[in-house]
Structure formats: structure tokens, C-alpha cells
Chains A and B, each alone.
Chain A
């Protein structure tokens, strides 16, 4: 793990009317590091991830990806996002989704091989010509994951990535993310599946009512008093 942060959240705050969903979040994630956001429903995890992905505008603060503000094309090119609910075109096949992502990210040669390899790795080869309507929830989630993983990225953000995945697929995802970490990618994820996060996350950030209440090495935080008080383990 190197120390240079590739993802920086500076004083991030988001309000919905009078409701403060996230308050003054400062966080840095380095190359090759995985940070897990944990907390109850409504604690601000998804808001944080959507802010990082550029799907929400911060009320205050900045999201910096690889040195660029998230509003810039270059930052968007460096960040991959996996939402909690698969969002796919109803009239494109699994393979075509991956090809489209490749084109939209300016990937030239080698795209076909990369798509084929990833489909194979995620056990989607047999369904590569299926439309989303012909896929189960879990297979759609896998397609969504493949869309994020097919293109190059410095940061990957995942919102509840294992919901709907069977144990072998969870294991595959674990391995793929581990590989991405080794290749230097930063990972920011939220999950209620602590065993999944335990094998991957270096650090945990505990959110409660939009504020960071504890932060540190994953195992130490989850074994700590705050996690116990909030009933997170």
C-alpha cells in the first residue's frame, strides 16, 4: 500500500432541505487501499458514495479523484461506480453493455479480449447474448459489476456489491477486487456483509447520522466499543 491518496473527500456535506444527510466528511484513500463504510440504514453511506460518484452535488466540500475535481471528465474517467440497484439498458445484451462501456471510455484495441475474459471470469459467457429482462437479480448485479471492472480505473466505488450474489460469485468478486487492489486501485465500498468486507478492507469508517464516529484499521474498529454500541457486529 502506497501513501499517496488517490481519492480525497474534503469537508463533504450534503443536506436535503433541513435534513443533514452527511456532515463534514474528510477522508483519504490511497492507491491499493480499501476502505469500508459501515453504519446503520440512513447513516449516510449511500449519500457518500453517490457524492463520490458525482451523482449528487455536495452542499459543501469537494471530491478529488487522482488530483482532479470530480466535476472534470478526467476524474470521471478514473472512477468506476457500482450502484446498489443494477441499472442496465433493457435492449442491450450483457456483452454489448461491456462493449459500450469500453467505447465510452475510449478503450481501443484489446477490448474484445478484455470483455471475453471478464465474462468468463464472472461466469457470464453463457449468457452474454441475454437481455437484462432475461437475467435474474444476481446475474444483473454481476453484469453491473462487469461493467465497472471492464474499463481501467484508479478508484472503484461499490454500494452493497454482494447483494443478490451467490457465494461462489461473492468469492469471485472478492478475488477480482483483491487483484484490483494489488494493481494499485483504491476501493471505497459500503456493505452490511461484514465477512465480505473483513477479507478486503484495510480501514473502516463508521458513519452514524451523517457523521464519522470512528475510523481506523478494519478489524480494530469492528472489535471496538463504538461498533458494539451501535450493534454493528
Chain B
């Protein structure tokens, strides 16, 4: 006894539209218009900047000599991973909580309700793919100067169809709890495949167009960009066939998803909207993490508690890290990536600064227990330490963990031939100091607590420019602090690298001295803190 969905949906749309004020409609139009305008202007400026930059024969050679195949494959694989991971907690079909209650609780055909949203999701996926392809076209056209129309067609169509395929696969993940769990477990493999595709040599470049749908989507682009890929029509055909099959399979499965899965996603979306409305990005990230943990289950790892009182908080933080190993993984990726980048190009100042910020973000991943403490400072009154001492105790485990990560990355850099001789010893010795600098820099903003109504009110009163700048300052304090502490020693060492040995020795001494003084200031400041209001 199903009731046709169309009358209820038409009524709902009409009534909601009627309640939208002219101001809301105007805001929506202005937003879309502004977005489109900026995208067009950005693409035009980007194209001309790239085209008018000095001759880039090296870049063009790299792109046509396999770089495009490797980078493109890695980018599309990462895009696919992001889409299907997104589907584990949201996905292309998400209803609101009232929709769940009123529409899915009524005898309306579920498949019909789902298909409307699925169609929208597929269109959006194709649109995002086309946007990615448009960026690639701007870059390639400026660098290679190839025939524009074939390149544009290949750059738009391949990624657009791949976007539709990724969305259809996302829906298949969303509609099955078993597939969701399997994907969460298999994600590291997909990530490893993307990294291997990106870093691989000539063999990876020649295999890329046949490595799967991501390669098939790239084939026509490689051919249009002047690369050698005569089989691109077959690849395009394969991509179209697989995409059609995935869309049809997803369409057929539309009615199979349970209300429970849709309700879970609706609840997450409500929480997410509330967090983003109050600029609480961390709250949004925690919500996402909680949603994923709810699916794969919390790891019930045990760690024997210590006997010494001062080790209680480091023990608690170690437990937290063991139960959310993703945090350590991100710290490894961000710190390791930054450190390897600096080791590969030690004379680049901008790269060094970017590496410090990336490493800071990695260190901040390890300080979640401290941020949790700052969220509810009253709870910390149960503990026998002053706030400042407690903050320092919360940094013990992160400093140790980050030092271990640093030692591992140094060993990897030495194995890859990026570090040699005394530089290896110096890097190993610097690990604890740099780890402490990063963690303590991250500890300072970590204890400010949630962004409260008073801060939001202040931001609101400061207007369209002042408000966002005020909020940005909240997020920027930590990375800036890390730069203040670590960038001067890096500059000293870079300057000394081109000078005579006595000057290098003096620079090392100066850098270490600067770092030790900066760390002492940070510790003194952290110890003097009081609980957030």
C-alpha cells in the first residue's frame, strides 16, 4: 500500500519556496553569481599568469614525459578515495531529520525518494569532476599550448564521467553497512596506491592509463596533451561502460538502504551544520570521527596504568592515541611530508615555512586530550595539579610520539639519500627539540576552549571583513607561533650551509641557543596559565 510520492514532494517544495523571503532568494542568487564570477575570473587570470610566466620547457617535458599520467592518476585516485570516504558518514543521498520522520516514516516508496537525491548527487559529482578537469585544462593549456578544443573536451569529459562514477560508487558504499566497514578498512590501501602512482617512475606512468577507471579517465587527456596514448578511445569506452553499470546498479539499489543508515547521516548533518554555523571546525571534525568510530567500533586496547602519579596524564594521553591511531597517522604524514620536502630542497625558504606549518598541524593532532580538557575546565578540578602543570603533563606523550616520528622520518630520509654524514646525526639530535617546539606551540592555542558566544558576537559585530579576520586570528595563532619559534633557526642553518665550516659551527650553536630560549619562554608561559573561563 504505497502512496505516490509526487504530491507530497510537490507540496513540500511549494510550501518551503513560499516561506523563502525575497531577501533569502536574492542572497542565494547573489552567492551563486559571485561564485560563478570569481571562478571565471580566477580561471582567466590563472591561465594568463601561467602562459606569461617565463619559458617552462622543463615543466612541459615533465608533463608529457609521464608526469601528467602519474600526477593525474594520483589526483583522481585521491578524489575517488575522498568521495567514497565521505560516503561512509554522509554521501550523495542525505535527508534532513524531519524528512526521515515525515517522508521516510510515511508509506511513500523509498526508492522514489532516494532516487531524486541520488540523481542530484550524480550531477554534482559530474560537475565537480568537470571543475577539476577545467583546472587541469587551464594548467595544461598554459604550459603546453596544445590544441585547445580537444584538450578542453578531454579535460572536461574524462574527469566529469569519473566524478559520476565516484559518486555512484559512493552511493553503493552509503547504501550498505558492510561495504562501508570494508571501505574504512581498505582506505589505507587506496591511499598507498595513490602515493605509489604519484611517486612511481616511468613504469607507473606507462601503466597508469590501464590501471583502472582513474587511468581510463586520464587516457583521452594524455592523448590530447601530446602524450603517446593511441588506445584512448578504448579507455574512454571502458570508463563509460563501467560508469553506466555503476549508475544502473546504484539506481536499482535505491530502495535497499535502511532508515537507520539515513537517520544516522541526517543526525550527523544536523550536528555538522550547528558546528559550522558556530565556526567550530574541531567540533565538526570530532563529529565525523565519532561517526566513523561508531561504525568500526572503538578499539578496546589496554595499557597498564603507571605507578607514578605524574605519569597519570601521559598514560591517559597514550591510551587516547592508541584508540585513535588515525591521529598518529596524520602526524606522521604531515610531519614526515614536511621534513622530507625540506630534506629534498634544503635551500627553499618558502618550502621550509610550509613544512613548519604542516608539521605544526601534525603535532596539533596529538593534543586532542588537552583540547578536551580545555572544553570542560571544571572537570580538571578533580585532578590534583595546577592548570599550567596539567597542560605541560598533557604534552609529554605528544612530545615523545613526535620525537619517535621524527627519528623514523630521519632514518627514511637517510635511506633515500636525502641526508648524509653529519647531517643525519644533527637531524637525529634535533628531533626532541623540534618535537617539543611544535607540541608546545600547539599547546598554547589548544587550551583556549571552544569558540564561545562572546567571540562569535564580537566577530559578528566586526562586520564582513573584520569578523572573518578576527576568527582567522583564532586559527592562525598556533601556526604563527610555530613559525616564530622554528623559522629563525632554519634561516640560520640555511645561511650557514653556504659559508665556511667555522661559520656553520657558529650558526648551529646560535640556532640551538635560540631554540632553547624559545622553548624556555613557551614552558614558562604554559606553566603560568589558568583554566579558560
* Given A74-B1, A103-B8: A131 touches B105 (CB 8 Å cut-off): no
Give CA–CA (A89, B11) in the complex, Å: 13
Q: Which of A17, A83, A93 contacts B101 (CB 8 A)?
A: A83
Kindly supply a per-residue 1/0 record for chain B positions 101-114, scoring 1 wherever the CB is within 8 Å of any chain A CB and 0 otherwise.
11101111100000
Q: Which of A77, A87, A91, A101 contacts B97 (CB 8 A)?
A: A87
Give CA–CA (A56, B19) in the complex, Å: 33
A135 at the interface (CB under 8 A from B): no
* Given A100-B102, A104-B8: A54 touches B259 (CB 8 Å cut-off): yes
Give CA–CA (A99, B8) in the complex, Å: 9
CB atoms of A92 and B15 under 8 A apart: yes
A76 at the interface (CB under 8 A from B): yes
CB atoms of A54 and B19 under 8 A apart: no
Give the contact-size bracket for chain B.
20 to 34
Give CA–CA (A76, B297) in the complex, Å: 31
Q: What is the CB-to-nearest-CB distance from A130 to chain B, in angstroms, rounded to a whole number? A: 12
B185 at the interface (CB under 8 A from A): no
* Given A88-B98, A89-B98: A104 touches B260 (CB 8 Å cut-off): no
Give CA–CA (A224, B34) in the complex, Å: 69
Q: Which of B15, B96, B101 contacts A96 (CB 8 A)?
A: B15
- The residue on A at minimum CB distance from B101 is A87
CB contacts (< 8 Å) of A100 on chain B: these are: 8, 11-12, 15, 102
Give CA–CA (A77, B105) in the complex, Å: 8
Q: Which of B100, B108, B297 contacts A104 (CB 8 A)?
A: B108
CB contacts (< 8 Å) of A131 on chain B: these are: 19
CB contacts (< 8 Å) of B102 on chain A: these are: 89, 97, 100-101, 104, 147
Give CA–CA (A99, B106) in the complex, Å: 13
CB contacts (< 8 Å) of B1 on chain A: these are: 73-74, 77
Q: Which of A76, A99, A106, A147 contacts B11 (CB 8 A)?
A: A99
CB contacts (< 8 Å) of A81 on chain B: these are: 101, 105
Query: Which residues of A (169-228) have their CB < 8 Å from a CB of B?
Result: none
B417 at the interface (CB under 8 A from A): no
CB atoms of B260 and A73 under 8 A apart: no
A121 at the interface (CB under 8 A from B): no
A105 at the interface (CB under 8 A from B): yes
Query: Which residues of A (36-57) have their CB < 8 Å from a CB of B?
Result: 53-57
Query: Which residues of B (290-313) have their CB < 8 Å from a CB of A?
Result: 297-298
Kindly supply a per-residue 1/0 record for chain B positions 409-424, scoring 1 wherever the CB is within 8 Å of any chain A CB and 0 otherwise.
0000000000000000
CB atoms of B3 and A106 under 8 A apart: yes
- The residue on A at minimum CB distance from B263 is A55
Please give the residue numbers on chain B whose beta carbons come within 8 Å of chain A beta carbons, in ascending order: 1-4, 7-8, 11-12, 15-16, 19-20, 96-98, 100-103, 105-109, 258-260, 263, 297-298
What 9 A-B pairs come out closest when comparing CB atoms?
A: A104-B106, A106-B3, A77-B107, A73-B107, A74-B1, A104-B8, A103-B8, A89-B98, A73-B2
Please give the residue numbers on chain A whose beta carbons come within 8 Å of chain B beta carbons, in ascending order: 17-18, 53-57, 73-74, 76-77, 81, 83, 87-89, 91-93, 96-97, 99-101, 103-106, 131, 147
With A89-B96, A97-B102 given, name 16 new contacts (CB 8 A).
A54-B259, A57-B258, A76-B106, A76-B107, A77-B1, A77-B107, A87-B98, A87-B101, A92-B19, A99-B11, A100-B12, A101-B106, A104-B102, A104-B108, A106-B3, A106-B4
